Amino acid sequence: MGIGNKSEVEARASARYLKMSANKARKVINEIRGRSYEQALIILEFLPYRACYAILQLISSAAANANHNLGLSRANLFISEAKVDKSTLLKRFQPRAQGRGYPIHKPTCHITITMREKTKMET
């Protein structure tokens, strides 16, 4: 019973209402899903996307949660689940010719990262 519970221990961090498109954030999340903590940091460091900085902060937060709250070592963590959900649209207007207003939709998204400790079977 103790072994089964230890594998289900997971640390989670989420960022809500980030001002970026969900599709652009998914492009980055798909690269790091299932990777170890160190590999994810290295990949995010060198990817040229704006979403990388927010996701890097989120992974660091999830690792800190695992270390502080659960006592897990950062070296043994991997990203077990990473998801991006669409959120509300910020609706704005751009002035156009002849007094018209052109609608602009600024997308937002929610990102959730779950980290788990590697077991000998998963390695």
Residue pLDDT, tens place only, 36-50: 999 999 999 999 999
Residue 6 in this model has a pLDDT that exceeds 60: no
| Residue at 69 is within a domain | yes
- In this predicted structure, the answer to whether residue 1 has a pLDDT above a threshold of 80 is no
| % of the chain exceeding 90 in pLDDT | 78
The mean per-residue pLDDT over the stretch 12-32 comes to 94
Establish if 38 belongs to a structural domain: yes
Residue 122 lies in a domain: no
Residue 2 lies in a domain: no
User: Cβ neighbours of residue 112 under 8 Å, at least 6 residues apart?
Assistant: 12, 13, 14, 81, 82, 83, 85
In a domain, 3, yes or no: no
Q: What are phi and psi of 21, to 5 degrees?
A: -70, 145
Which residues are CB-neighbours of 81 under 8 A, at least 6 positions away? 10, 33, 112, 113, 114
Residue 1 covered by a domain: no
| CA distances (Å), origin 81, targets 16, 30, 44, 114 | 16, 10, 16, 5
The structural domain count of the chain equals 1
Residue 61, C-beta contacts closer than 8 angstroms, at least 6 positions apart: 13
- pTM summary value: 0.83
| 74 belongs to a structural domain | yes
Residue 85 belongs to a domain = yes
CATH of the domain at 53: 3.90.470.10
Label residue 116 left, alpha or beta by phi (over 0 means left) and psi (-120 to 50 means alpha). Answer: beta
- Under the banding of pLDDT at 50, 70 and 90, the label for residue 55 is very high
**Domain range spanning residue 92?**
9-117
* CB atoms near residue 57 (< 10 Å): 13
Q: Give the tokens for residue 61.
A: 């937060």
Inform me whether the pLDDT recorded for 69 exceeds 50: yes
Model confidence over 81-96: pLDDT tens digits? 999 999 999 999 999 9
